[in-house]
Amino acid sequence: MKNIAVFASGRGSNFVRIYQSIAEGKIPARIRCLITDNEHAGAIDFARQKKLPVYTESPKNYAAPNLFGEALLQILKKHDTEWIVLAGYLKKIPDNVVGAYANRIVNIHPALLPSFGGSGMYGQRVHQAVYDSGAKISGVTVHLVNTEYDRGPIVMQRSVNIEDCRSPEEIAETVLRVEHIVYSEALRKLLTCDFEVSGNRVVFKPDTQ
């Protein structure tokens, strides 16, 4: 069982689904705490219902990113955190946290990276960009986090047919249903299988899958 910390900025639908998957025995992990930058995040209500420790830390309260990172690292150390799972977290992870948790920070992006990613591309902005592009296929990408937005090694992808979607909102609904499934699958593999990073992809060793 791995100790994980969940980072979320909003309602935390992926956080809820991850919690449920753990409860169902699909992910061998314990959620030790929730860290958020938003004191009004819906994820806080769920965490408190489940009696999970909640920490609100915003980078705007620190003079430099590394100081913000030090505050996060203190919380993570307190809870013996082994992995960090981002569930709709909108702030950049400080470099010193990325260094301390190299290849142990996981994120899910609601499109097929490297398309429709990068700074400022999150949530509905992604689905609007996909819709405006005229693309008929979208999807989700689970990736490890490095020091660049949405550029970390890709763990798992799943495509979604959006040919019949008539708005960015319809795309969002269609993709979200797949997000919840794929994220749990990817987390289970990362926590139970040996892997290596080759180029910009995660390669699982055949004898451990």
- So which residues are the catalytic ones? 109
Query: Residue 141 in contact with residue 109, Cβ under 8 Å?
Result: yes
> What is the distance between the alpha carbons of residues 150 and 20, in angstroms, rounded to a whole number?
26
> What is the distance between the alpha carbons of residues 58 and 24, in angstroms, rounded to a whole number?
32
Q: Which residue in 185, 196, 193, 194 sits closest to 153, CA to CA?
A: 196
What residue ranges in 9-71 does DSSP mark as E strands? Answer: 29-36, 54-56
Residue 111's DSSP bridge partners are none
- Enter the DSSP assignment of 208: G
Q: What is the dihedral of CA 68, 72, 75, 77, to 10 degrees?
A: -120
